[in-house]
Structure 1
Amino acid sequence: MRPAVLWLTLWLLFSPGVGLSARKTIYICPMHPSYKSDRPGKCPICGMDLVPASQVAVPSAKGERRKGEKAPGTRKAPRERAFPLVPVRISPERQQLIGVRTAPVSHQRLVLTLRAPARVAYDETRIFEVHTRVAGWVEEVRVDWTGRFVRRGETLFTLYSPRVLATEEELLRALRWLDELKETRASPEALSTAREALRAAERRLRLWGFPESALALLKSKRKPLRAFPVVAPVSGFVIKKTVFTGKRITPAEPLYTLADLSRVWIEADFYETEIPEIKPGLEVEVFVPGVPRSLRARIEEVYPWVEDRLRVMRARLTLDNPGGRLKPGMWAEVRVRIPLGMKMVIPDEALIYGGGHYYVFVKKGPGLFEPRMVRVGRKVDGKRIVLSGLRHGEEVVVSANFLIDAESRLKAALSAFGGGGGGHAGH
């Protein structure tokens, strides 16, 4: 009898009809497929109803294809088209559990605040280069280091020039000639000729940069100056110096570069997307580290190019700098407030990005939430400007909207596979 019993047991186990009827149904959670049970009930992780495993498409192992599945590389339709979103109904208890909150679509008067990194720079209209107008040799350097502050008329160095020395002697001869003519009571024509020779020598010296103080000293002492002083044309800081004792210089060579820091430029960098908003005349607020209060100014110039490396547009404004608190090279921040007028807005957290578009969940009734595509503009103070897709007064979900999105996708997927999904409509 043993062989007969063995054959009967094998027939009961492997017979197609008997095996399928005796096999138990396995239940899984659609949101957590790793949890399995041999009886229906609730998922202990998320509280959703368990469904038969045959109604849920479980992804196959990596590199494995199921029957009827397309080979790798086959183009598939986008997820939004294959699994469209559908309205979902969620009970009040479930809403409280997952923390659903809504906010109304409203109209508000918006002010766009733009922040831009900036730096303090020299005012290019207040930078001066010192040149001589005659060739010569440096005798003595009085201002001999970079960074020193010099006042207008202060001697920078002394210059020996044979041409200037010869003109000094010519001036002294004309001066002595004039004195002799006055003593001898010469004719007016002779006195006029002597005075014209004196004025011609004085004009040449002034054109070469001979200071008035040195000219007065020359006339009083009646003795030529071997090296005449070269003075600062303006007050400012020495930011560059190429002079040293004994150097031969020419008029083409810059000797000192002086910068007047009583006013400075602020150069701010704005992103390319902000170019339409930035215009000359806009009032801005400037914050500089180390300066206790903010400074106000207006944009004077928007440079007509975009910086290649950083891809930013540069704007310039001017600030007074009493006491020299603002140093060229310091970092700063510029803030611009631009009124945008009345706009329809929603909280930014209500938006869900769906790959090329945005959508929100709109409350259509007690516990009913409908997905809707929207077009939005820029973000302002945590809110998004609505261009289309919503009406004033509607309510959109701003908290737990991703959980509602998951429920909507699941319901749409189950409906597409013929699984219904009615058991989840109340969650």
Structure 2
Amino acid sequence: MSLKKFPTLIAIVSLVGLTACQDKAEPVAGTPMPIIQNDQLRYPAGHPQLPLLVSTPATAAKAIAIELPARLVWNEEKTQRIYPAFAGRVTHITADVGQSVGAGQVLAQLASPEFGAAQADTSRAVADATLARQALQRQRELFEAGVVARKDLEQAEADAARTQAEVARAQARTSLYGSASGVNQQLGLRSDIRGVVVERNLNPGQEVRPDGTGPAMFVVSDPSTLWVQIDAQEADVGDLRPGVKVGLVVPTLSDQKFEATVQAVTDQIDPTTRTIKIRATVSNPKRLLKNEMLAKVRYERKVGSGLEVPATAVFLRGNQHYVFVQSQAGVFEPRDVTVSYEGPKQVLLSSGLKDGEQVVSQNGLLLARELRIAQEAAHAATQAKP
């Protein structure tokens, strides 16, 4: 490149740099911040945060809806868990899950040598009792003939009574499991109640033990009624007394309405969850409700007079509750209130608000942050004045 062209290039570069400096954009004014005036936070009209601050009116309430977690379980008064009384091997299964069974029906058969030994004990006791009766008869005849003494007759009578008692004991044991006499080693697992097989935990050929450490071989229950296990707070005990009816809401059956009746209340608090266990019953004729379903129990608690606001509207500063009241468009004021009941969704206030006043129910934390920033800015401006 010729040296004569360097002044021209330098001039072009200088001209481009000057143009770039002249085209720099003017600074844009930022969004005006809210200000503090008479302990109120005031937003300028059209502020972008105003649509986020949703307000809800405080409403008078004499009762508040209480919602408690609950769980559905089998009605234990109509449920039987069947375990084997003797060790054995499963030879035949006659009932399955979902099948209706009657009282005394055999659900499965076991081949059990232990049960065979019990049957043999019964047969041996019967034989001993027969022999003792015959011996007693001979002793009576001999006593009447004057051949034996009275003490020999009394001993024979005692032996006969003892063997008869042993027969009664042995027969009671074997007849309890379906065999009063005979030795066949066949042990039947029977249902003592009428209901539905809701659980089966055995297979053909399985060896079972009577230790009771594992699950029940069968669970038979009447699913037309279920228990409702309610986790209540201490304040709920006064309302949920035996006989009280409550609503039952199941999320998967939201279009169905169920009503449960409180049956029993425990006298202790669970040390882990700090809740009180309450049991209710619910009718289930269509069998829509299932064991281990999660649900919610709802009832209304009488609270006298007060104002109800959403739980998201109430904040805690130290030990003092407060809300943000919207007195007019863009004007918000923090107000101390007294809480008489605090629920997961609704809070009842006994003082600090009037019926119909608007409280901020959404994005209140944003408002609290803006209030703190405005207070700090106002304090700094005050300190800067001479």
TM range (shorter): 0.5 to 0.7
Q: Aligned match of 2:382 in 395, 403, 416?
A: 416
Inter-CA distance 361–205: structure 2 relative to 1 (3 Å threshold) = closer
Residue 284 in 1 paired to residue 249 in 2? Answer: no
Inter-CA distance 208–353: structure 2 relative to 1 (3 Å threshold) = closer
Mapping for residues 16-415 of structure 1, pairs under 5 Å: 35=28, 86-87=38-39, 107-116=60-69, 118-125=70-77, 126-132=79-85, 137-138=88-89, 140-143=91-94, 150-155=101-106, 156-158=108-110, 159-160=112-113, 161-168=116-123, 170-171=125-126, 200=165, 203-210=168-175, 214-215=179-180, 224-235=182-193, 236=195, 237=197, 239=199, 241=201, 245=205, 247=207, 256-262=217-223, 263-269=225-231, 274-278=233-237, 280-281=240-241, 283-288=245-250, 289-290=252-253, 293-299=256-262, 300-301=264-265, 304-307=269-272, 315-322=278-285, 324-345=287-308, 358-361=322-325, 371=333, 373-377=335-339, 378=341, 384-390=347-353, 392=354, 395=357, 409=375, 412=378
Q: Secondary structure at the match of 1:162?
A: helix
Structure 1: give runs of 5+ residues left out of the alignment. 1-33, 37-42, 49-82, 219-223, 420-427
- Identity of aligned pairs, percent? 14
Q: Secondary structure at the match of 1:167?
A: helix
Q: After superposition, give the CA deviation of every residue in 1:23-54 in whole Å (9 maximum; x if it has no partner).
A: xxxxxxxxxxx745xxxxxx9x6699xxxxxx
Structure-1-length-normalised TM-score: 0.51
Q: After superposition, give the CA deviation of every residue in 1:95-132 in whole Å (9 maximum; x if it has no partner).
A: 9xx7999988764323233242x332234453434342
1:305 shift after superposition: 1.0
Inter-CA distance 350–322: structure 2 relative to 1 (3 Å threshold) = closer
Q: Secondary structure at the match of 1:209?
A: helix
1:197 shift after superposition: 8.4
Counterpart residue identity of residue 192, structure 2: V
Inter-CA distance 141–284: structure 2 relative to 1 (3 Å threshold) = same
| Structure whose CA Rg is larger | 1
Structure-2-length-normalised TM-score: 0.56
Q: After superposition, give the CA deviation of every residue in 1:235-257 in whole Å (9 maximum; x if it has no partner).
A: 35263546865958568788734
Inter-CA distance 199–145: structure 2 relative to 1 (3 Å threshold) = farther
1:211 shift after superposition: 5.4
* Matched pairs, number: 320
Q: C-alpha distance in 1, partners of 2:177/2:104?
A: 10
Q: Secondary structure at the match of 1:112?
A: strand
**Residue 20 of structure 2 aligns with which residue?**
none
**Residue 73 of structure 1 aligns with which residue?**
none
Which stretch of structure 1 is more off in the superposition, 378-387 or 316-325?
A: 378-387
Structure 2: give runs of 5+ residues left out of the alignment. 1-26, 145-152
Inter-CA distance 89–341: structure 2 relative to 1 (3 Å threshold) = closer
1:374 shift after superposition: 0.7
Q: C-alpha distance in 1, partners of 2:302/2:119?
A: 64
Q: C-alpha distance in 2, partners of 1:397/1:207?
A: 75
Q: Secondary structure at the match of 1:341?
A: coil
Counterpart residue identity of residue 236, structure 2: E
